[in-house]
Amino acid sequence: METSATTKTTTLTTPAKLYGKDLSEYDDVDVESLLAQLSPEEITILAKEVDPDDNFLPPDQRCSYECSKDATGPLNRKQLIEHINKQAIETPDEPEFEPYVQGKVRGKKWVPPPRDAREIEAEEQIAIDMGDEYEHALNDATQEEIIDLAAILGFHSMMNQDQYHASLLNKGQPVGMGWDGITKSTQQKLFPMDPPNATDVEESIKRVKDDDSKLVDLNLNNIKNISDEKLEQLFAALPQNEHLEVLSLTNVGLTDKTALLLAEAIEKSKTLRVLNVETNFISPPVIVKLVQALLKCHTIEEFRASNQRSAVLGNKIEMEITDLVEKNPSLLRLGLHLEFNDARHRVAAHLQRNIDRIFRVQKLKPQLPKLILPGNMEIERESQYPVSATPTPSPSPSPQPPPDYDVEVDPDNMVIRGGGGGDAFDPEFDPDNMVVPGSRSVTPNYDDEGVYQAHTKKRS
């Protein structure tokens, strides 16, 4: 009786042979000692006879061919191709032993082997029986209906783009685009070129200096011949202008020198609301100067400065811009490409808080002038607030509260506002941690020992 423990398994292996000779007698031979006895010439001859199947070796070491000719000069690809073509043309064709006759088979014709009957039977069994109703519907369907069905089922390889989109939009199939139609690329739509900017630069600078009330939007985009002297005159006239709201300077060749003058001008601007300096030659440190100048100009709501000389700002510059934006209570839109996620998220969150604060201020005081928000957003005034019959004209710079408002950060996220100047206070929750009190407010405070102390703040 044999058990699994006592069962003995014997494995039969065929000994290795070369040209009918048994190679087992060479198993104990030291190959290194044999190679050490060979001369360099013999090793070279042996290397030519062996082609190692090693993917880690470069091709020149795996190939046994060695060119013994000396180089005649540097490689010239054009001359090499011309030489190969010339040699191919001059080389005569090999003579045919049997002349070519059309329709006559020369040599042995290949005949495919007969298919196995089991494969044919298996293919017949795979046929799907969809039922009489579906077969009748598909047999009577037109090409357009089958193409529409293929588009619905997502069979993109059965049609081109025109057929697919026409099926989805239910526009009818294009003429000549059936199953036998030739698939062609969709013709591109040609749009006319935009006309050149015909704005008169000198006339515009003169109107800015004269504070023209009709000049609200100044667009100097894509004007290449604006000199630095004209830009300096324009930026020198900006602080005295009280009507210009939108200034676009895209692709006008702004450099760091003129951009620094622009930064000084927007610090003193009173009405500028949108500033666009995209596609220029401003370096990242000067972009920081422009963003820093926005802190002193409380009217700019939108600032765009992407696609400058340096494609990447860098982590240090992006963090400086983020810190400056977080200190800006009036900026609503920022057009800059920020590479790092932390900077993008912090900037987006702060801009959203600025927009939310505008909504909140408008709801608290609907009698204020209507605030201008990005994207043509408007705040619906609730009916319980009285509105004057004659509306107040809307100024251009608008995200700031009126002068009798104090904006302060509430560390405990709890606002205690006063109503009507009395002593009764109505606490409420401020989700954005930003207090917009009225004429009188009390915010939570803690002393050095961590004990809550309420203090009243009132503007003098």
Q: 112-157, pLDDT tens digit by residue?
A: 889 888 888 877 766 666 677 777 777 778 777 777 777 777 776 6
Query: Are 56 and 205 members of one domain?
Result: no
Confidence label for 339 from pLDDT (cuts 50, 70 and 90): very high
Number of domains in the chain: 2
CATH classification at residue 343? 3.80.10.10
Of residues 423 and 328, the one with the higher pLDDT is 328
What is the reported pLDDT for 130? Answer: 67
The DSSP H or E segment spanning 161 is: helix 161-169
Question: Cα–Cα distance between 347 and 443 in angstroms, integer?
Answer: 27
Of 347, 371, 395, the one marking the end of a domain is 371
CA angle 403, 239, 209 (to 5 degrees): 135
Contact 233, 210 (CB under 8 A): no
Domain membership of residue 457 (yes or no) is no
* Torsion angle defined by CA atoms of residues 105, 109, 114 and 119, in that order, rounded to the nearest 10 degrees: -100
How much is the pLDDT for 29?
82
pTM of this prediction? 0.46
Structural domain contains residue 123: no
What is residue 231's predicted lDDT score, i.e. its pLDDT? 94
Q: Which of 346, 371, 396 is the last residue of a domain?
A: 371
What is the distance between the alpha carbons of residues 403 and 387, in angstroms, rounded to a whole number? 20
User: What is the C-alpha to C-alpha distance for residues 104 and 99, in angstroms, rounded to an integer?
Assistant: 10
Query: What single letter denotes the amino acid at residue 59?
Result: P
List pLDDT tens digits, range 367-384.
665 554 444 444 443 333
Whether residue 73 lies inside any domain: the answer is no
Does 295 fall in a domain?
yes
The pLDDT value recorded for residue 408 is 45
Which of 355, 371, 387 represents a domain boundary (last residue)? 371
Mean pLDDT of the chain: 75
Which value, in Å, is the radius of gyration of the alpha carbons in the chain?
A: 42
Is residue 345 one of the residues assigned to a domain?
Answer: yes
Ranked by mean pLDDT, which of 108-117, 153-162, 326-335 comes out on top?
326-335
Using DSSP's 3-state secondary structure scheme, residue 285 falls into helix
Residue 175: pLDDT band with limits 50, 70, 90? low
> Does residue 122 sit within a domain?
no
Specify if 307 maps to a domain: yes
What backbone phi and psi angles, to 5 degrees, belong to 452? -65, 130
> How would you class 172 by CB atoms within 10 Å of its CB: exposed for 0-12, middle for 13-18, buried for 19 or more?
exposed
Over range 76-101, report the average pLDDT: 88
Does 337 fall in a domain?
A: yes
Q: Distance from CA of residue 385 to its chain's centroid?
A: 46
Share of the chain above pLDDT 90, in %: 35
Percent share of the chain, pLDDT over 70: 67
Those residues whose C-beta lies under 8 Å from the C-beta of residue 244, and which sit 6 or more positions away, are 208, 215, 216, 218, 238, 271, 272
Domain holding 44, by residue range, is 27-60
